[in-house]
Amino acid sequence: MGFPEELTFGQLLYGGIGFMLLAGGILLAFLVLYQKRLLLHQLRLRTIQTAHQQDLLRVQQQLLLAVIAAQEGEREHIGQDLHDGIGSILATAKLLLYRLDQQVAQEEFAHLLGLVKELISTAVQEVRGISHNLYPAVLARFGLAEAIQHLTDTCNETGKLPIELTLDYFQPLDLDQELALYRICQELVSNAIKHARGATRLAVRLQQQGSLLKLVVEDNGCGFSSQLPPTGSSAASGNGLRNINVRVQMLQAQLHLDTDAGQGTRITIELNSTTLP
């Protein structure tokens, strides 16, 4: 009578051991599979990170090339200004000084000396103008708002295109960032004055709301309906717009172009002061 009971116990024992081995095998297989999936996920993540780093490096290289191109363009522009402006003025002054070195009548001497003084004064003004374009003194001394105020006041004195200025700027950025914004504003205003066909007014707004800063330049000219700005719009200057885009990227800002045929052109630069480089 006891034999069947011992047989049943043995079956239970072997069955329990078999179940434990089976469960252990399943658990081991699950762990191996999980480990493989984890390694595969890590490999994919590293691949994505590597691709992202390569993309970031590519963008940085493109930005660096664009900055270098912009700097070379500015150097070329400065060299042209020096050659065409100051170079010709000083060459003329040199010729007049040669004449002064000769035997001339007293009246002619005084006249030539006066011309030389005028030329030297003009050359000094040219140098100041180039220096202002390189780094506006009003920006360094008084900040972005005053520099834009001075820019629009100077443009209004020409009488070419009336500019309405709105300033709501109370948290200054660092000097390099303000210089980049000033250059963007300067280029946009210059483009509008030169290219905004049919425009009778220009609005410039520098507005700050918390950490969000907006620079808006808007004209009431002809506008355009295509994706690329044509001749006769305030966004028409290719090199100027390229320089603007470089500075926008350097500031990690956003550029928005809103326009339509007959509706004018509005260009908005948005940046968050908490994410500035």
CB distance 218 to 224 below 8 Å? no
Instruction: Enumerate the H helices of the chain as residue ranges.
Output: 2-81, 88-100, 106-134, 137-142, 144-158, 175-195, 238-250
pTM, two decimals, is 0.58
Look at residues 165, 269, 176 and name the one whose alpha carbon lies nearest to residue 215: 269
Residue 13: what are its φ and ψ, rounded to 5°?
Answer: -65, -50
Cα 3 to Cα 10, 11, 14, 25, distances in angstroms:
11, 12, 17, 33
Q: Which residues contact 67 (CB under 8 A, 6 or more apart)?
A: 246, 250
Please state the domain extents for the chain. Answer: 2-130, 137-275
137-275 is classed CATH 3.30.565.10: yes
pLDDT bin (cut points 50, 70, 90) of residue 84 is: low
pLDDT tens per residue, range 155-189: 887 778 899 999 998 888 888 889 889 989 988 99
Distance CA 128, CA 252 (A): 32
